Each structure stands twice: as C-alpha cells, then as structure tokens.
Structure 1
Amino acid sequence: MSTWKFKPGQRDAALEVISKKGDEAGKIKGFRGHLYLVPSDDPDAGVFIALWEDEESLQASFEGIFREISGDIEQYAASPPEVKKLHVHSAEIAEIVPELAKPV
C-alpha cells in the first residue's frame, strides 16, 4: 500500500499516469489486482493498493513497476509516498459496479 500526497491540483494528472502503468502491471507475473482510493476530504491525496501473489512478486514490483511509476509521477508528488507492506488477512470482493469505479 502506498499513500501519496500530491501537489495542489495534481492528483488527477498523477492518477492518469498510474492508470496507464496499471495496465502494464496486469501482465507481470504474480500481479493479482489493484485499487486506487481517493479520499473525499483531501483532493491532493491518494492511496494505491496492489495485490501480489507472493513475496517474490511483491519484491520484484518494488524493483520494477513501482519504481517506474514512482519516477513517472514524481513531478506531481508533494513528497515521497509512505509505503507499507500489508498481508491480506481476509477478503470478500464482489463485482464492482462501474458507476462506483468512476472518479468522484
């Protein structure tokens, strides 16, 4: 999970770059999915959650796609992201209604 603080008004531009790169992540071994979360009370923040099959795939992402995306959106960021490694304890994922997946 990475929490980003963007320069004022730059979140949408950064998320556009992340979305394009996210399509590439889907082709990487061990990639299981991702979520972009944007707080409704902070227009300059965002949370990115990537799901990886195993520790090896996660580590490879840090050296590859995550580093690449971080470099691509650095110009929009107010500071480096806060990164936390979390393990999924449990999950229930239903089909996402397209209207809910659209930016607010």
Structure 2
Amino acid sequence: MTYARLSVWRFKKGQRQIGLKALSDDYLPKIKSMKGYRGHLHLIDEKDSDTMVLVTMCDEEDETLNLKKELFNKVTKELEEYFQITPDITTYKIKSAELLRE
C-alpha cells in the first residue's frame, strides 16, 4: 500500500518564497532519499500567495512514515517564524493515481 502525506502551509504575508526555498533546498532532498519514497507534488495556490500544499508519497513502512514525521517536525520548528499557523498534516492511503505528461 502506498500513502500520501498532505501538508498545508500558510505563511505570513510575503514569506512564502522563503518557505518554498527552504522546503525545496532542505526538506525535499531528504524525503527523496528515504526508503519507500514514491514521489511528491508541490502545489501553489495562485489566488492565495501565502499558501502552498505539499503532497509526498511513500510505501506503507511505518518506519518511513515516522521518519518523515520527525523530519517534518524539525522543518516546521526551523520555519515557524514564517508561518501564520503551524502546517496541517494528514496521511491518506492512495486508492489510485494517474499522472499524465504531455
């Protein structure tokens, strides 16, 4: 079974770019190197310039999920000065998925 972890990041006014850079430079490379990593989506809300959504996908290994939680907690602690609120995080089982490239 594959899981998706969805996190919603709400930054203080004008701070999203700093958060995006930190996530792209630090958090995502570590997630990608973890056993069981299956991919990610980085979603930007064009109407709300201070919000973004990150979806990471991994195999069901509890250890991998727990390591991601630990890393997530570390990153949110490092970036908390840029947040409006602490990011929301929810884990889902992926029933099906398809991504087409043109």
Rounded to whole Å, the distance in 1 between the matches of 2:65 and 2:93 is 11
Deviation readout 1:38-80 (Å, 9 max, x if unpaired): 11110011111111111412122102x2122212221211111
Aligned partners of 1:17 and 1:72 also within 8 Å: no
What is the CA RMSD across the aligned residues, in angstroms?
1.5
2:42: which partner in 1?
Answer: 36
Runs of at least 5 residues in structure 2 that lack an aligned partner in the other structure:
1-5
2:10: which partner in 1?
Answer: 5
Rounded to whole Å, the distance in 1 between the matches of 2:37 and 2:77 is 20
Aligned partners of 1:30 and 1:52 also within 8 Å: yes
Aligned partners of 2:45 and 2:52 also within 8 Å: yes
Relative CO higher for 1 or 2, CA cutoff 8 Å, sep ≥ 6? 2
State the aligned residue count: 95
- Pairing 1:10-89 to 2, within 5 Å after superposition: 10-21=15-26, 22-56=28-62, 57-63=64-70, 65-89=71-95
Runs of at least 5 residues in structure 1 that lack an aligned partner in the other structure:
98-104
Higher strand proportion (structure 1 or 2): 2
TM-score where L is the length of structure 1: 0.82
